[in-house]
Amino acid sequence: MILSDGEHRWRMGDGTGYFGVVRRRTAQKRGADFLAALVGKQTTCLRKLGGDRAGEVRFGRFLRNSGVTKEEMLAEAGLATGSRVGGRHVLVIQDTTELNFSGHVESKRGFGTVGNGLDIGFFLHPQVTLDAQTGGIIGLAGATVLNRTQRSKTHRRSRPITEKESRRWLDGVETAGRVLAEALEITVVADRESDIYEEFARRPTNVHLLTRAAQDRALTGGGRLFGFAAALAERARYTVDVPAKGGHPARKALVALGFGTVSIERPRNGADQTLPPQIALDVVDVRELDPPRGEQPVHWCLLTTHRVTSVTDAHRIVGWYRRRWTIEQVFRTLKGQGFAIEESQIVDVATLAKLATAALIAAVRVMQLVHARDGATAQKLADAFQIEDEPLIEALVRKLEGKTEKQKNPHPTGTLARVAWVIGRLGGWSGYVGGGYKPAGPKTMHYGLTQFDSIKHGWSLAQNV
């Protein structure tokens, strides 16, 4: 079997070629090669990656012994993302997804349990970076891989597991501030699990927070947060789309928007008593007026360190929070056709964590292209590719364009949309839009990247002659 990142090609079969190359390279570069190799494969299911049983064994050994750690891969991804954020306001969406391998219970070693306490697996907790203005994906800032077997380690018993697990939210904020230091502004966006007093108290000075409230916190001077939010004056009224969920059809909801400033009190129990006793935050509350009977009413109570003093500010905050769906899409891509990470045949947890990390980085790259494909994110090629790739991309445009106007790449040179057109075409997309033709989705983009990486390999060989 051959792995390629478009730049290098290694034969796995003799067991020496790949490792011979690897030893001469820096750790970070190795991480990048490994990722590119992974993107170049259609699935993370080991049997398919390895080809046959013998190949499967070899690939498993490669993953275990390649010397590429998940930390190196994440550092590499973070470095690339950090280099793209200069002068931009970025949203960093963080959330947790559960990888469940209960389909292979008997074969797995070293696993912890996932949410239901019985199945085996672990959690991935990434920080996905977006342009705040357009929503275009810039890349991965970092991620935590959490294996719950840590529960049983004696020396950790002194601290409750819930506290250790909630640490990932604080770590994510710290990572964002460090890795994306070149950004004009950083706003970390997260759901209710991230409503942690310490997170607000310890945020780095260059990071803003936007979190959905989970706790009905005591306010300075009396009263509670949820009562305060419910009593906010209505400042605007508008209609939102509520997507279909669990047997409930999609519907429209009329909502009222309110906002105000609060000072939340340090919790009496649980919180580190050296933290500041109060924190000033702004609240944006979106509440459905007249929810239909039997439907879950729309209600978001958002807490932010940004100042909110106008209806425009409040709408902006809600808009940023709604960008959270991007991370849900990354998770769906990771688990869906193409990557199928939960179907991996790898039996030991350290190797699988490595593979999951690589697949996560690749899934973010795939979603970058999906989001950029219609030009709405107005991104440059450099948000996902190397500037040196441009001559090859232009050669591919010429090769793939048809004779009619409809078959031409409609996007300007140097844009990510132009590259997404190429990658989509390489993945099997017809090139047509509208009239029943579907645009290129994650599976097509993933396959297109495979093709691109092998073409790039051939291209760089030709340039070197």
Nearer to Mn ion, 190 or 384 (CB): 190
* Candidates 90-98, 103-111, 345-353, 414-422; binding stretch for Mn ion (CB under 5 A): 90-98
Q: Least distance to Mn ion from the beta carbon of 331, Å?
A: 10
Count the neighbouring beta carbons within 10 Å of the beta carbon of residue 7.
15
Q: Least distance to Mn ion from the beta carbon of 190, Å?
A: 7
Q: Least distance to Mn ion from the beta carbon of 175, Å?
A: 17
Q: Least distance to Mn ion from the beta carbon of 327, Å?
A: 9
Residue 417: which of 373, 371, 368, 367 has the closest Cα?
A: 373
Q: Least distance to Mn ion from the beta carbon of 457, Å?
A: 39
Residues from 175 through 194 that contact Mn ion (CB under 5 A): 191
* Candidates 92-100, 103-111, 423-431, 432-440; binding stretch for Mn ion (CB under 5 A): 92-100
Q: Least distance to Mn ion from the beta carbon of 75, Å?
A: 25
Q: How far apart are CA 89 and CA 305, in angstroms?
A: 15
DSSP lists the bridge partners of residue 224 as 218
Q: Least distance to Mn ion from the beta carbon of 257, Å?
A: 24
Nearer to Mn ion, 60 or 142 (CB): 142
Distances (CA, A) of 103 to 146, 420, 454: 20, 35, 33
Residues from 341 through 370 that contact Mn ion (CB under 5 A): none
Q: Quote the DSSP letter at residue 233.
A: P
Contact call for residue 72 and Mn ion (CB under 5 A): no
Nearer to Mn ion, 185 or 191 (CB): 191
Residues from 285 through 344 that contact Mn ion (CB under 5 A): none
* Candidates 93-101, 136-144, 257-265, 424-432; binding stretch for Mn ion (CB under 5 A): 93-101
Q: Least distance to Mn ion from the beta carbon of 191, Å?
A: 4
Cβ-contact 12, 55 below 8 angstroms = yes
The site for Mn ion, by CB under 5 A, has a size of 2
- Would you put residue 215 in left (φ > 0), alpha (ψ -120 to 50) or beta? beta
According to CB under 5 A, which one of 72, 76, 95, 199 is a site residue for Mn ion? Answer: 95
Q: How far apart are CA 119 and CA 100, in angstroms?
A: 7
Q: Least distance to Mn ion from the beta carbon of 140, Å?
A: 17
Nearer to Mn ion, 95 or 198 (CB): 95
Q: Least distance to Mn ion from the beta carbon of 95, Å?
A: 4
Residue type, 453: D
DSSP secondary structure letters along 376-445:
TT--BGGGTS-GGGHHHHHHHHHHH--SSGGGS--SPTTBHHHHHHHHHHHTT--S--BTTBPPP-HHHH
DSSP secondary structure letters along 7-55:
S-EEE-TTSSHHHHHHHTS-HHHHHHHHHHHHHTSS---HHHHHSSHHH
* Candidates 10-18, 47-55, 91-99, 161-169; binding stretch for Mn ion (CB under 5 A): 91-99
Nearer to Mn ion, 209 or 397 (CB): 209
Nearer to Mn ion, 7 or 191 (CB): 191
Residues from 186 through 245 that contact Mn ion (CB under 5 A): 191
Nearer to Mn ion, 95 or 165 (CB): 95
* Candidates 89-97, 147-155, 166-174, 320-328; binding stretch for Mn ion (CB under 5 A): 89-97
- Would you put residue 451 in left (φ > 0), alpha (ψ -120 to 50) or beta? alpha
Nearer to Mn ion, 191 or 313 (CB): 191
3-state secondary structure of 344: coil
Q: Quote the DSSP letter at residue 267.
A: P
Nearer to Mn ion, 238 or 325 (CB): 325
Q: How far apart are CA 256 and CA 278, in angstroms?
A: 28
Nearer to Mn ion, 128 or 372 (CB): 128
Cβ-contact 141, 176 below 8 angstroms = yes
3-state secondary structure of 58: helix
Nearer to Mn ion, 95 or 342 (CB): 95
Q: Are strands 278-288 and 251-265 parallel, antiparallel or unpaired?
A: antiparallel
Q: Least distance to Mn ion from the beta carbon of 289, Å?
A: 27
- Would you put residue 222 in left (φ > 0), alpha (ψ -120 to 50) or beta? left
Residues of this chain that interact with Mn ion (CB under 5 A) are: 95, 191
